[in-house]
Amino acid sequence: MTDDATVRRRLPIAVLISGTGRTLKNINERVAAGRLDVDVRLVIASTPKATGVQFAADAGAPSHVLVRKDFDSDPAYSEAIFAACRKAGAELVVLAGWLKLLVVPDDYRNRVVNIHPALVPSFCGKGYFGHHVHQAAIDYGVKLSGCTVHFVDNQYDHGPVILQKAVPVVHNDTADVLAARVFEAECEALPEALQLIAEGRVTVAGRIVHVS
Ligand code: GRF
């Protein structure tokens, strides 16, 4: 008899990081637990300071550092990144704490996914990263925040929304406390979205994502 795990196809992905790689670590843990059918083929970091490259080895994947200032333009930078993803056979590119603007080539349209730590379209776009996102939510006084998994287009945090998870914003929250609460939701939301994509259950029509 064949073990189900040996016949299940794993979606080849590339993971792009700019920082600690906590999201990549979470992906690795889900894969190891047999709960996520992706195969991390490549990790790209936007800076040599991205400590998250350590998690590439856990996935058995090579890692490259590609720095924006070594390229003349956003398109040239993006081209180098997607060329590496193509070469690695990545069918999906996952932005996991990636802070650089990308120009998505046609063959990767609706095949690049980002997770943003707020409920898009609130507290997103240029400048909304890290604790700035959570401080803005607290300062505005919203009672709910959360995270958004979305396809990536050529604007920050703008493409079609795949799924969102909400968390409460509690009186006296600091940005760090709220960030930790949101990150717990992220650790569920991104694997859930990736698994839906891996199972071929996600289609996109304009801005609308349909999950079958
Ligand atoms: C996560 O909060 C995610 O929402 C955002 O980047 C954070 C992870 O990056 N896109 P890092 O691992 O802390 O660098």
| Catalytically annotated residues | 116
pLDDT for 82 beyond 60: yes
Q: Please check whether residues 102 and 166 belong to one and the same domain.
A: no
Give this prediction's pTM. Answer: 0.95
Q: Please check whether residues 89 and 135 belong to one and the same domain.
A: no
Please give the distance, rounded to the nearest whole angstrom, from the Cα atom of residue 187 to the centre of ligand 1: 11
Q: Please check whether residues 73 and 121 belong to one and the same domain.
A: no
Spatial distance between the Cα atoms of 110 and 133, rounded to a whole number of angstroms: 25
Q: Please check whether residues 95 and 135 belong to one and the same domain.
A: no
Of 46, 81, 108, the position where a domain reaches its end is 108
Of 77, 108, 139, the position where a domain reaches its end is 108
204-211, Cβ contacts within 8 angstroms, sequence gap of 24 or more: 204/110, 204/151, 204/160, 206/160, 207/160, 207/161, 208/160, 209/151, 209/160, 209/161, 209/162, 211/162, 211/163
Which band of pLDDT confidence, cut at 50, 70 and 90, is reported for residue 8?
Answer: confident
* Residue owning the nearest CA to atom 14 of ligand 1: 19
In terms of residue numbers, what domain contains 197? Answer: 116-147+160-212
pLDDT on residue 6:
55
Spatial distance between the Cα atoms of 178 and 181, rounded to a whole number of angstroms: 5
pLDDT on residue 185:
98
Q: Does 187 map to a domain?
A: yes
User: CA dist 135 to 13, 21, 138, 143, 176, Å?
Assistant: 32, 22, 5, 13, 9
Please give the distance, rounded to the nearest whole angstrom, from the Cα atom of residue 114 to the centre of ligand 1: 10
pLDDT one-digit tens code per residue, 147-202: 999 999 988 999 999 999 999 999 999 999 999 999 999 999 999 999 999 999 99
Among 15, 114, 115, 129, which is best to mutate for testing ligand 1, by the most ligand atoms less than 8 A from CB?
Answer: 115
Contacts of 55 (CB under 8 A, 6+ apart): 21, 24, 25, 28, 43
Number of structural domains found in the chain: 2
**Mean pLDDT computed over every residue of the chain:** 95
User: CA dist 66 to 44, 48, 56, 98, 208, Å?
Assistant: 7, 8, 15, 12, 32
pLDDT one-digit tens code per residue, 115-135: 999 999 999 999 999 999 999
Q: Please check whether residues 41 and 77 belong to one and the same domain.
A: yes
Q: Please check whether residues 94 and 7 belong to one and the same domain.
A: yes
Provide φ and ψ at 11, rounded to 5°. -70, 120
Please give the distance, rounded to the nearest whole angstrom, from the Cα atom of residue 24 to the centre of ligand 1: 9
pLDDT on residue 2:
45
Q: Please check whether residues 102 and 122 belong to one and the same domain.
A: no
Structural contact between residues 127 and 168, judged by C-beta atoms closer than 8 angstroms: no
Q: Please check whether residues 87 and 186 belong to one and the same domain.
A: no
Q: Does 154 map to a domain?
A: no
Lowest mean pLDDT among 3-12, 60-69, 128-137, 142-151: 3-12
User: CA dist 22 to 19, 97, 172, 183, Å?
Assistant: 8, 8, 26, 9
At how many degrees (to 10) do helices 175-198 and 131-140 cross? 110
Residue 164: CATH number of its domain: 3.40.50.170
Beta-ladder partners of 163:
149
* Residue owning the nearest CA to atom 7 of ligand 1: 97
Q: Does 205 map to a domain?
A: yes
Q: Please check whether residues 96 and 5 belong to one and the same domain.
A: yes
Contacts of 62 (CB under 8 A, 6+ apart): 42, 43, 56, 88
Q: Which atom of ligand 1 is nearest to the CA of 179?
A: 2
Q: Does 152 map to a domain?
A: no
Please give the distance, rounded to the nearest whole angstrom, from the Cα atom of residue 95 to the centre of ligand 1: 9
Residues with CB under 6 A from ligand 1: 19-23, 52, 97, 115-117, 183, 186
